[in-house]
């Protein structure tokens, strides 16, 4: 007798219970990722609902004990790229290479923030959740996706590479460039 | 030959080129050790590494504060139940 038979549960509801037990603790970060991808709360909710349904239908293919969050985020990311992305004019990124490394660090020092205390703390105090979100959401799509997986989900380069299905070197390069653009956007948000 | 090369320690340029990977723990053990050795003797680079580390930590704390729509989990749960009954 299976455990779900002993408890009077049927197999379907046991499967749903198992899936939801994995889903509930990470629901907030899954929604956060969807929100950064779509930049719209209604689309984000739709994306989450559709992705979780797709994941549930494919749950038999999920290897128990492996990283459920990465597995679900891969489904969510693919769904976003195949169905939810909208053709929007992307910001010009031609000048990324001209941006110096550690842009914020240099700007903060140029503005004399290091004289007033901890410059990182001073910059962060000028940035609330809305401003940081706006800066991430202003990134071109391919950078916004890796930045979301890095900042919001705190995935490793390897995990990000598996989620977006590209080499680790590409992830490293995109993340490096997205951080440059992000730092410029954050400085503008902080000083704006 | 520079002092750094003499002591087989990274120069500032070499350490800073690895800043992102060091903070993300993506370097090999050998490279990690060499960056750490450089930071022990270079105040300027330590300052910059510390700034970047604090920035990443602070930004993460801020972006992870997004609120979940109140009915989303319930809607998902209902959709899963409907799917299970199909």
Q: Which residues of B touch A123 (CB under 8 A)?
A: 55
CA distance A170 to chain B (A): 14
User: Is A104 found in the same domain as A76?
Assistant: no
Q: Which residues, other chains included, contact B37 with Cβ-Cβ below 8 Å and sequence gap of 6+? A: B9, B10
What's the token pair of residue A81? 């790229």
User: Is A78 found in the same domain as A101?
Assistant: no
User: Is A132 found in the same domain as A67?
Assistant: no
The domain of A47 spans: 3-84
Last residue of a domain, one of A24, A57, A84: A84
The number of domains in chain A is 2
CA distance A186 to chain B (A): 10
Q: Which residues of B touch A121 (CB under 8 A)?
A: 54, 58
pLDDT at position B2 is 74
Query: CB burial class (10 A; 0-12, 13-18, 19+) of residue A122?
Result: middle
Here the CATH number for the domain that contains residue A112 is: 1.10.10.10
The complex scores an ipTM of: 0.85
User: Is A123 found in the same domain as A74?
Assistant: no
Neighbours of B43 (CB within 10 A): 8
User: Is A110 found in the same domain as A36?
Assistant: no
A90 within some domain = no
Q: Which residues, other chains included, contact A62 with Cβ-Cβ below 8 Å and sequence gap of 6+? A: A55, A68, A71
B66 → chain A, closest CA residue:
A32
A115 within some domain = yes
A91 within some domain = no
Q: Residue A88: which pLDDT band, with cuts at 50, 70 and 90?
A: low
Residues A68, A24: Cα–Cα separation, whole Å: 12
User: Is A179 found in the same domain as A150?
Assistant: yes
- Is residue A103 within 8 Å of A184, Cβ to Cβ? yes
Last residue of a domain, one of A56, A84, A112: A84
- pTM, two decimal places: 0.86
Enumerate residues 7 to 46 of chain B having a beta carbon within 8 A of any beta carbon in chain A.
Answer: 16, 19-21, 24, 26
Last residue of a domain, one of A53, A84, A115: A84
In order, the DSSP letters of A35-99 are HHHHSSHHHHHHHHHHHHHHHHHTGGGS-TTS-HHHHHHHHHHHHIIIII----PPPP-TTGGGS
CA distance B58 to chain A (A): 7
pLDDT at position A87 is 62
User: Is A100 found in the same domain as A186?
Assistant: yes
Q: Is B62 on the interface with A (CB under 8 A)?
A: yes
User: Is A115 found in the same domain as A169?
Assistant: yes
Are A48 and B76 a contacting pair at CB < 8 A?
yes
pLDDT in tens, chain B (86 residues): 677 777 778 999 999 999 999 999 999 999 999 999 999 999 999 999 999 999 999 999 998 878 899 999 999 999 999 887 76
- Main-chain phi, psi angles of A99, to 5 degrees: -70, 135
Are A121 and B54 a contacting pair at CB < 8 A?
yes
pLDDT at position B67 is 87
User: Is A103 found in the same domain as A70?
Assistant: no
């Amino acid at each position: 007798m299976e455990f779900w038979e002993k408890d009077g549960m049927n197999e379907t509801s046991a499967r749903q219970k198992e899936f939801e037990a994995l889903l509930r603790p990470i629901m907030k970060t899954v929604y956060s990722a969807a929100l950064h991808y779509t930049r719209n709360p209604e689309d984000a909710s739709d994306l989450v609902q559709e992705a979780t349904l797709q994941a549930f239908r494919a749950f038999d293919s999920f290897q128990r004990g492996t990283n459920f969050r990465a597995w679900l985020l891969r489904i969510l990311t693919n769904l976003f790229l195949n169905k939810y992305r909208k053709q929007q004019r992307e910001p010009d990124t031609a000048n990324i290479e001209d941006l110096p490394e550690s842009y914020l660090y240099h700007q903060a020092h140029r503005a004399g923030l290091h004289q007033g205390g901890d410059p990182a703390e001073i910059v962060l105090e000028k940035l609330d959740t809305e401003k940081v979100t706006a800066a991430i959401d202003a990134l071109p799509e391919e950078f916004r996706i890796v930045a979301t997986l890095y900042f919001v989900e705190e995935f490793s380069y390897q995990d990000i590479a598996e989620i977006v299905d590209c080499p680790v070197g590409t992830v490293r390069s995109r993340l490096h460039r997205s951080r440059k653009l992000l730092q410029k956007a954050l400085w503008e948000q902080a000083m704006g | 030959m520079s002092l750094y090369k003499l002591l087989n320690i990274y120069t500032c340029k070499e350490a800073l080129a690895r800043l992102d990977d060091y903070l993300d723990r993506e370097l090999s053990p050998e490279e990690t050790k060499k960056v750490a050795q450089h930071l022990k003797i270079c105040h300027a680079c330590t300052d910059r590494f510390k700034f970047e580390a604090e920035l990443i930590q602070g930004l993460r704390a801020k972006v992870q504060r997004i609120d979940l729509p109140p009915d989303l989990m319930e809607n998902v749960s209902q959709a899963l139940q409907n799917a299970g009954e199909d």
